[in-house]
Structure 1
Amino acid sequence: MAIAKAERLMNLALCLMNTRRPVSKRELRTSIEAYHEPGSDEAFNRMFERDKDDLRELGLVIDTVESLDGEIGYQARRDRNRLPEIALDAEEAAALALTAKVWQQARFAEAASGALQKLRAAGVPFEEVHSALEPRIPVPEPAFEPLMVATRERRAVAFEYRKANAARPEPRQVEPWALECWRGHWYVAGWDRDRAAVRVFRLSRITGRVRTRAGGLTVKVPDHVDVRATVETWAGEGATATARIRLRRGSGYPLRAKALRTVPVDEEWEELEIPYGHGLDAWLVEYGPDAIVLEPAELRAEVVDRLRAVAKG
């Protein structure tokens, strides 16, 4: 949401909540500076109706009252917009305190700390959580924060993305649905506008700045977005077929974790049998000369083609 619009909505909400009587659109237009700009009454009316709908969508209860002379007034009464009393048991309070310790980035740490302070001020008892394990969610990728905001606000984004087999990044326009961390990497799932299909992108492969696009989403967000299941499918997880690869000793530990069987070959190489699914070729390319596909033949051909494409770039 643009800062100007957010400020306008905040001013409108304050006016509606701090008046003792319903106020008309004419009075609101006079009181709120942002409404001075629209030149025509029609433009102001459209803006006001959109803002009113946005506030109601955010949860503000706005009453519409007709006066004796037929003029329509608006008011957001405080008694109808007051949150219920917060009551947490000991386990719920401990869970919130532990969750607040997860985020290590300054922006999230400040918000979490402020939320706990407000709950303490409201009388919710919090005890210090002590644990041998310190919870953390590492987010080294600069693309995480803008993607998180875009996902929350349902805004499309554009960025440059470098695939595993590509020598240079390609432009992507994506409608982000959900973010999830899997095996130490962050992924975003959403609708790829250029390819008209669902795609999952690893944040560490996003280069440059993530730019927000104007307008809303064009595809409805599914009720449930399982990012991990999609990533597992693309990485060959849960596949019924198997592949046989030769892996250099001391390398490819994620592949070793997937191995169904490992057989020593010599002092330098081992042979692994791993699940084979769509997207495994792109994953194997990342290991370069440390991984050699023995079978099936189609997987070996796919990996060779990807490596040749990288070499040509």
Structure 2
Amino acid sequence: MAIPKAERLMNLALCLMNARRPLSKRELRASIEAYASLDGGPGGADEAAFNRMFERDKEDLRELGLVIETGESPLDGETGYLAKRASNRLPELALAAEEAAALALAARVWQQARLAGAASGALQKLRAAGAFGNNGGAAEGSPAREEEGRATVLEPRIPAHEPSFDKLMLAARERRPVTFAYRRSGAPEPGTRTVEPWALECWHGHWYLAGFDRDREDARVFKLSRIVGQVRTRSGGFTAEVPAHVDVREHVARFAGEGATATARVRLRRGVGWPLRTKALAEKSAEGEWDEVELPYGHGLAADLAEFGADVLVLGPEELRAEVLAHLRAAAGVKGAETA
């Protein structure tokens, strides 16, 4: 039975870290079961397979942060490898209370995601190292432990219930484009989007993805709750440059109209449209059953207004009125009608 790669990497790391001198590839092959199980003598086909496997494993360990040094093996004079403990020992962790809280909150994001076990294990290791203060080693029933319990009775949580969360997170990390069906606000049917995902962020209780929309050739944000069906990864890499800093909230706010310098004047039927009224810059009564409201105007306002149908009337600007009418016609399945 083949030995899992994770076990093979762990055995190689332990062997290199416990060595007192550089070990040659010949010695490592004889010491590690996964390598020794490759039959064949030196110079044979299995020797080449071992060399390829060892080089991949060595690079994987280095990517994981293990510092591997080279030197001459005194046993056979060949190039040897060694991972000194001093070079691979983490410095003492000293997190401020705010840093520890932020780290714990970030780990709780994974409570509904696939890395819940890894996040929990990471927190346990940090607590054992004293990263969360001196209470980590306090005995049960001690004042320190009781104080810790009181401090965590009320704690913020960031759920990740959206089915697409895991796949989008991995695609963003691995820089792989994705395709998914996305239902825009006011659209009768979802449309297919091909996106190069940059980053995910939770904002106002909802998860958003920021990335490069290949079809529109521009940056876009997507609300995960509006993704329909499966997210599928595509072959190939990114075609657009990823910004050095991706501020998902800035993108969401821009597309939601927050921070906009332009304003719009709309009439709302009295007693409806409370989500819009909370953003109002000014509000006054108008004739009949209408109120006149002044709102910040930015990308996304047309979709918000269209959701209220006949209970909203756009007074200006004219381009916003045209956008709202386009949303309403799309929802009704009307095509090619003249703008009212």
Q: What is the TM-score with the length of structure 2 in the denominator?
A: 0.74
Identify which of 41, 44, 56 aligns with 2:62: 56
- In the alignment, is residue 144 of structure 1 matched against residue 157 of structure 2? no
Contact 1:100–1:109 at 8 Å: present in 2 too? no
Question: Structure 1 residues 65, 305: closer, same or farther in 2, change over 3 A?
Answer: same
Match of 1:125 among 91, 111, 134: 134
Name which of structure 1's ranges 78-87 and 20-29 shifts more when overlaid on structure 2: 20-29
Q: Which of residues 87, 105, 109 is equivalent to 1:99?
A: 105
Q: Aligned partners of 1:253, 1:104: CA distance in 2, in Å?
A: 34
User: Which residue is 2:183 aligned to?
Assistant: 162
- The 1:44/1:289 distance shift into structure 2, 3 A limit, reads farther
Cα distance in 1 for partners of 2:108, 2:150 equals 12
Shift of 1:18: 4.2
Question: Is 1:238 aligned to 2:259, yes or no?
Answer: yes
Question: Structure 2 CA distance, aligned partners of 1:156 and 1:9?
Answer: 29
1:304 aligns with 2:325: yes
Residues 174 and 193 of structure 1 are in contact (CA less than 8 Å); yes or no, is this contact kept in structure 2? yes
8 Å CA contact 2:257, 2:297 repeated in 1: yes
Q: Residues 64 and 209 of structure 1: is their aligned pair in 2 closer, same or farther, counting only changes over 3 Å?
A: same
- Contact 2:112/2:160 (8 A) holds in 1: no
Give the whole-Å Cα distance in 2 for the aligned partners of 1:47 and 1:192. 38
Does residue 1:72 correspond to 2:93, yes or no? no
Pairs within 5 Å for 1:1-313: 9-25=9-25, 31=32, 33=34, 48-67=54-73, 71-88=78-95, 91=97, 95=101, 99=105, 103=109, 105-106=111-112, 113-123=120-130, 124-126=133-135, 127-130=148-151, 134-214=155-235, 216-265=237-286, 268-312=289-333
User: How far does residue 130 in structure 1 lie from its aligned partner after superposition?
Assistant: 3.3
Shift of 1:61: 0.3
Structure 2: tracts of 5 or more residues without a match: 40-44, 136-147, 335-340
Instruction: Give the deviation of 1:300 after TM superposition.
Output: 0.9
Q: What secondary structure, in the 3-state scheme, does the structure 1 residue paired with 2:192 have?
A: strand
What is the percentage of aligned positions where both structures have the same residue?
Answer: 63
> 1:8–1:197: structure 2 CA closer, same or farther, 3 Å change rule?
farther
What amino acid is the match of 1:258? Answer: K
Q: Distance in 2 between matches of 1:311 and 1:269?
A: 24
Task: State the number of aligned residues.
Answer: 308
Deviation at 1:36, TM superposition (A): 5.2
Given that residues 24 and 71 in structure 1 are in contact (C-alpha distance below 8 angstroms), is that contact kept between their aligned partners in structure 2? yes
Q: Distance in 1 between matches of 2:64 and 2:110?
A: 28
Aligned residue in 1 for 2:338: none
Distance 1:303 1:257 in 2: 20
Shift, 1:41, TM fit: 6.6
> What displacement does 1:159 show?
2.0
Q: State how far apart, in whole Å, the 2-side matches of 1:184 and 1:53 are.
A: 40
Instruction: For residue 270 of structure 1, report the CA deviation from its aligned partner.
Output: 2.0
Question: Is residue 97–residue 128 contact of structure 1 (8 Å, CA) maintained in 2?
Answer: no
**Cα displacement string for residues 268-310 of structure 1 (whole angstroms, at most 9, x for unaligned residues):** 4322111112332233233333333221122111211122122
Deviation at 1:48, TM superposition (A): 4.5
Q: How has the CA–CA distance of structure 1 residues 60 and 311 changed in structure 2, closer, same or farther, with 3 Å as cutoff? A: same
User: Over aligned residue pairs, what C-alpha RMSD do you find?
Assistant: 3.6
8 A contact 1:104–1:136 mirrored in 2: no
Q: Partner residue of 2:337? A: none
Q: Rate the CA distance shift 1:46–1:155 in 2: closer, same or farther, 3 A.
A: farther
What secondary structure, in the 3-state scheme, does the structure 2 residue paired with 1:172 have?
strand
Between 68-77 and 177-186, the greater mean CA deviation after superposition: 68-77
Distance 2:16 2:102 in 1: 33
Contact 2:105 2:157 in 1 (8 A): no
> Deviation at 1:11?
4.9
Is the partner of 1:105 in helix, strand or coil? Answer: helix
